[in-house]
Structure 1
């Protein structure tokens, strides 16, 4: 039993790696995508919005397959290293692109929800656009986006299991190997790993929301 639990923990480490790396890269990338979609330069705005529409309108599982297998099938050669590291890298790239697009829409909604008078007040005070964004808009933006960001981040925890489609040995794939041999409890025990992780994140986001109550 201890051996099986050890393997499940090793699998869950892969889930955690995908989760952590996705957050680190997708949040700043999502902000850049948001600025692109809100750009006054119409060709750029149209291009970014079309890309976001495509990513949000297609399954993440399909995106994983396309990113991992697509270059090789098109004859471009695979850009991924051999072995487990290559599969993990491809999964992270797919997750980052996917979640950056979702986060960008959350950022855009948060920015547009800040009253226009806030911007005008900053301009009257002689503040530049970057100063208005960082000193006036940003903190109000954070308050508005915490609940939807929390939902997306919790969804990300569970979506990491999709990485098995390109043979990343995350926890569910590991448990499924035992289920194929007739041992079912490892498969059900994976729920405990996810429930604990999601529970910790739920408490963390609840605490963070309470800390931002002074914006009400």
Structure 2
């Protein structure tokens, strides 16, 4: 393996990590909004949240990436006459964020609803508003409960970033495929080893986080 190949593999690995972290952070923000919409009393907002999760959990991530990168620009061109082109990285972020938000919102919703209703009633009895009770009482207790399923979602997104190679994104998977195309099959195992290292690090970090947060329950 030459220094150039090592450099490209490293760059591809960095791109994979960037895609994962950015998508997860943006996805968490959107997921919280969707989760609150789904547990609220407004039927319209609940309906929108349900449709959103139904669509993005019910269709393949690869299709969602293709729609963002290929279909949406063509749709915009047909409607307004000029295409709305996305860079591969931007399209990948959008698709991964929308996808992970759908799954993470269900994790948050289930975690919030698993807290005994008496907690909210007690908080309101102390004079707290709904928002204060949610962010000072309910959410802190929810954190430790959602860490295990959220860790699984994080790892799934990390691995699913390999799908962005289909739109020309120079991630770890695409770089490995390019090198393996020369006939050296070992690059597939190199990529697999790197993914294993990344996921193992995530597992250890989330296990430590879970133990730390469980002390305050």
TM-score bucket (shorter structure): over 0.9
Q: Distance between the aligned counterparts of 1:113 and 1:173, measured in 2? A: 41
Query: For residues 3 and 159 of structure 1, what CA distance do their matches in structure 2 show?
Result: 26
Query: Does the CA-based 8 Å contact 1:154-1:201 persist in structure 2?
Result: yes
Contact kept in structure 1, 2:69 and 2:91, CA below 8 Å: yes
1:105-124 equivalent positions in 2, closer than 5 A: 105-124=106-125
Q: Quick one: distance in 2 between partners of 1:189 and 1:78?
A: 38
1:171 aligned partner: 172
Q: Does residue 91 in structure 1 map to residue 96 in structure 2?
A: no
Q: Contact 2:73 / 2:85 at 8 angstroms: preserved in 1? A: no
Give the 3-state SS of the residue equivalent to 1:169 in structure 2.
Answer: coil
1:102 is matched with 103
1:64-98 per-residue CA deviation (whole Å, 9 max, x = no partner) reads: 000111123222443335xxxx1100110000011
Aligned to 1:151: 152
Q: CA deviation at 1:151?
A: 0.7
- Which whole-Å deviations, capped at 9, do the CAs of 1:14-73 have from their partners, x for residues lacking one? 111111110221111100011112221112211220121011000000000001111232
Once residues 60 and 133 of structure 1 are traced to their aligned partners in structure 2, the CA distance between those partners, rounded to angstroms, is 32
Q: Which runs of 5+ in 1 are unaligned?
A: none
* Counterpart Cα distance in 1 of 2:65 and 2:107: 23
Residue in 2 aligned with 1:203?
204
- TM-score (norm. length: structure 2): 0.93
CA–CA distance in structure 2, aligned partners of residues 90 and 60 of structure 1: 12
What is the match of residue 53 of structure 2? Answer: 52
Report the count of equivalent residues.
Answer: 212
Equivalent position of 2:74 in the other structure: 73
Look up the match of 2:18: 17
Structure 2, unaligned stretches of length 5 or more? none
Given that 2:35 and 2:109 are in contact with CA atoms closer than 8 Å, whether structure 1 keeps it comes out as yes
Q: Aligned-residue CA RMSD in angstroms?
A: 1.3
